[in-house]
Structure 1
């Protein structure tokens, strides 16, 4: 069986965001962590919002899953790929690594 998702490094994600590549960015961390800081343009995904995502997100557009360290996003990416999304990625290093590398590219609650 082939892997349902691909790993995505932060360098590639930054390039995609810089060139405004069409993508769906989902953050599966807990609501408080998401509220305190997230990658601009990302949407919080949990059991309450997954139905809207399945209804609204384009199936043929890249989807990047973000968690804390890049581990639980792999399971979520596998599940999302199983829902018919064609190009699903798990962000290596997660939000923690992204925030370390790109502190200026984090939306924070003021």
Structure 2
């Protein structure tokens, strides 16, 4: 875990993904931003629609929320945690996509390395 109980470090998330652990990655950016690139295997649930789609997280063991810098995703953690059907662990990616140094999945399903101006946010 990172220094905060409601965050997970990029390295910890990468370790979970490499180990094929069950983790639901929820990218809360706009659909347009998500289409420019996202963490492989993540799904897009824009922040503004999160309260209406909260039931999607019922029964998930582990949810990681993602945004550009890790601020809005902390709010998303609180929203999901407040839902009584959410019984698993919910964490925000510490530092957001800015801190994610691995590959991004593009709209066409291809992956590319993160490089400065190519960052998808």
Shared fold by TM > 0.5?
yes
User: CA 1:50–1:82 in structure 2 vs 1: closer, same or farther (change >3 Å)?
Assistant: closer
- Structure 2: which 5+ runs fail to align? 109-121
| 2:93 counterpart residue number | 91
**Per-residue Cα deviation, 1:47-78 (whole angstroms, up to 9, x for no partner):** 447645524x3434100000010001001101
What count of residue pairs does the alignment treat as equivalent? Answer: 101
| 1:8 counterpart residue number | 8
Q: Which runs of 4+ in 1 moved over 2 A?
A: 46-53, 57-60
Q: Does 1:76 align with 2:76?
A: yes
**Per-residue Cα deviation, 1:30-61 (whole angstroms, up to 9, x for no partner):** 11110000001111012447645524x34341
Higher normalized helix content (fraction of residues): 1
Paired residue secondary structure (1:90): strand
Root-mean-square deviation (CA), in Å?
Answer: 1.9
| Larger RCO (CA within 8 A; separation ≥ 6) | 1
Measure the CA separation in 1 of the matches of 2:93 and 2:15. Answer: 13
TM-score by length of 1: 0.81
- Structure 1: which 5+ runs fail to align? none
| 1:106 counterpart residue number | 104
